[in-house]
Amino acid sequence: MAELTASTSKPHGGVRRNRMSTRIDLTAMVDLAFLLITFFILTTTLSKPKAFNVAMPEDTGEMNVPASRTMTICLGKNDQVVSYLGLTESPITTPKITGFSKEGIRQQIIELSKQVTKTSGKDMIVLLKASDHAVYQDMVGALDELHIAGVDRYAIVDITPKEVALLKQKGVY
């Protein structure tokens, strides 16, 4: 590790002094440092992805949801969304085509939620339906918009043939 060597130099006075110079070998310390760095890199965890839970109800076949409190969101192609208040058979508001911008689906959710709360005194229920041409990113974006707008009650359900026909009629299927 460390080594002492004697120096035999004569100073100006002619009296010979015996000086010891030190030389320290740092190889073992460098090895230990790399072992510690490797240990800490392997034992630490990197940042974990943040996600929120989705509780899916059991499939009983039929849902009894009041149409006056229900917003239906159908995801189409090219990041387009068709949304309306009510059910497909009898929509209360006319279906609107929007996107995922701040003035798009988020604004629709906030406006309809205020309307439902004002008329019924209860919170709004959202039915989220993805078509065959919607991408996974659209579903995640819609869930994020629901979360931002403060909607606590929503369900992810299968799209019906009537809703597919509506999307085709609007040109977003």
Predicted local distance difference test score (pLDDT) of residue 53? 72
Across-strand partners of 132? none
Residue carrying structure tokens 């392997």: 42
Query: Mind listing the pLDDT tens digit of every residue in the chain (173 residues)?
Result: 556 565 555 556 556 667 777 788 888 999 999 999 998 888 887 777 777 676 666 766 666 778 899 999 999 999 999 999 998 888 999 999 999 887 899 999 999 999 999 999 999 999 999 999 999 999 999 999 999 999 989 988 899 999 999 999 999 99
DSSP classification of residue 86: B
The Cα–Cα gap between 39 and 172 comes to 53
**Contact criterion met (CB below 8 Å) for 65 and 125:** yes
Q: Where in the chain is the domain with CATH 3.30.420.40?
A: 67-170
Q: Which of 126, 116, 145 is nearest to 65 (CA)?
A: 126
The CATH class that applies to domain 67-170 reads alpha beta
Predicted local distance difference test score (pLDDT) of residue 117? 93
Predicted local distance difference test score (pLDDT) of residue 44? 81
Q: Which amino acid is at 40?
A: F
**Contact criterion met (CB below 8 Å) for 78 and 97:** no
pTM over 0.75: no
